[in-house]
Amino acid sequence: MLTPQIFKANDIRGIVGTQWDLKGAQALGQAYGQLLNSPKIVLGRDMRLTSPEIRQAFIDGVTSVGVCVVDVGLASTDELWFASGRLDLPGVQITSSHNPSSYNGLKFCLPGAKPVTSGFLASLAESARAIDAGRAVACSADTGVVEHHDILPEYVSYLLTLVDCCNCRPLKVVVDAGNGMAGLTAPAVLERINVEVIGLYIDLDGHFPNHAPNPLEPQNLRDAQEAVRANNADLAFVFDGDADRVFVIDEQGQVVAPSAITAMIAVDELAKEPGGVIVVNTITSSAVTQIVEEHGGRVVQSKVGHTYMKALMASHNAIFGGEHSAHYYFRDFFGADTGMLAALHVLAVLGRADRPLSAVVRNFTRFVGSGEINSEVGDQAAAMSMVAEAFGGEAEVVWDDGVKIIGDDWWISLRPSNTEPLLRLNVEARDTDQMAALRDGVLGLISQA
């Protein structure tokens, strides 16, 4: 079973047993193996309850068409990107990122952790559904073999060559792994540097017994916020389920906007390579562009989504990229997104500073943002057109990624989700009152659609 709704813009994800099943996973493995021009792939999986059986079904499919598998076992998604880059193999990660425990999915990359294209994903969907429905037969005279490779030690060592944390002051950091894959990777990295770690929900548990693995939802940050204050910690990191994203909380227990982290890391990277390119998405704060240009860099804007971000990182040889959703991309990490490397950069910047994190990030914050607000809307196109007509006026209206309306010191972004049946609203303005007026005006309009 492979229902159409599991095929997203950047990956595959859906409810196991309802939207896809093991037979479908095997068909995906067969189709993936046939589409590749590679005799071997690298495969990782997260700790979700269904990941072991999906792993086996996918391996059965891949090897049945003569493709061999390097199995790295339990891994974060960025660990799988690293494995693809290090081994120069196409990669597949079994994960459903921040989704509830009933979900699972697949993320793909080409050799060197390069992104797959929308055309590749469309071909994969068509071929896999034909195999699953019995309309096509996948076969090979040879059967691929499976080898196992523990990539974690290499991943840890490589990350620590990219950021100098050796001359930093000691820091106390809370790490909330949310029972996800950061429970494997974060302790292995942080035990190698001068930080005291207070771990929350480090045990790998696909039931997610403590909170959902989605740091975009404020309620999933509260435990880390309380732990920072209770332990007088310098900061906290909250990872999503597959650990390719990280949210940062300051010493006061306040969430640091991902745009501020993007600007902070961009400045740090531009100090090493003046004039470099930084990639941001359409709903990154305008402050990032201002700050990057003030430090001699150049900004390139991408649609939201890791496939688009990675493609622009590669085509512009960008040194760094950041998204509002706390995905951070590094040229030195094969152009891929990694929550752990972003966390190391934050530790390095803070460790060199003689101020708390709240004071450090103040230099990178110039506007007030609404945060992402999701609404279920029946006619998404009509809602976006209504908002564009109401707020366009003399503002610039851009339809590259949903609709973005850009004023002199404010903007509104309204776009369909890549993974869920939602419209996502983001608003930024010079002050709180202006932001709230724009936000409430848009929400009032789309509630009528």
Q: Which residues are tagged catalytic?
A: 97
Query: At residue 229, what are phi and psi to the nearest 5 degrees?
Result: -70, -40
**CB-based contacts of 54: which residues, under 8 Å, 6+ apart?**
16, 22, 25, 45, 94, 104
* Cβ contact 81:334 at 8 Å: yes
Instruction: Give the C-alpha separation, 425 to 71, whole Å.
Output: 39
The amino acid at 154: E
424: β partners: 374, 415
- From 176, 215, 208, 239, select the one nearest 49 (Cα to Cα): 208
End-to-end CA distance of the chain: 34
Instruction: Give the C-alpha separation, 299 to 170, whole Å.
Output: 33
The secondary structure of the chain, three-state, reads CECHHHECCCCEEEEECCCECHHHHHHHHHHHHHHCCCCEEEEEECCCCCHHHHHHHHHHHHHHCCCEEEEEEECCHHHHHHHHHHHCCCEEEECCCCCCCCEEEEEEEEHHHECCCHHHHHHHHHHHHHHHCCCCCCCCCCCCCEEECCCHHHHHHHHHHHCCCCCCCCEEEEEECCCCCHHHHHHHHHCCCCEEEEEECCCCCCCCCCCCCCCCCHHHHHHHHHHHHHHCCCEEEEECCCCCEEEEECCCCCEECHHHHHHHHHHHHHHHCCCCEEEEECCCCHHHHHHHHHCCCEEEEECCCHHHHHHHHHHCCCCEEECCCCEEEEHHHCCEECHHHHHHHHHHHHHHCCCCHHHHHHCCCCCEECCCEEECCCCHHHHHHHHHHHHHCCCEEECCCCEEEECCCEEEEEEECCCCCCEEEEEEECCHHHHHHHHHHHHHHHCCC
Please give the structure tokens belonging to residue 310.
């990675």
* Cβ contact 54:103 at 8 Å: no
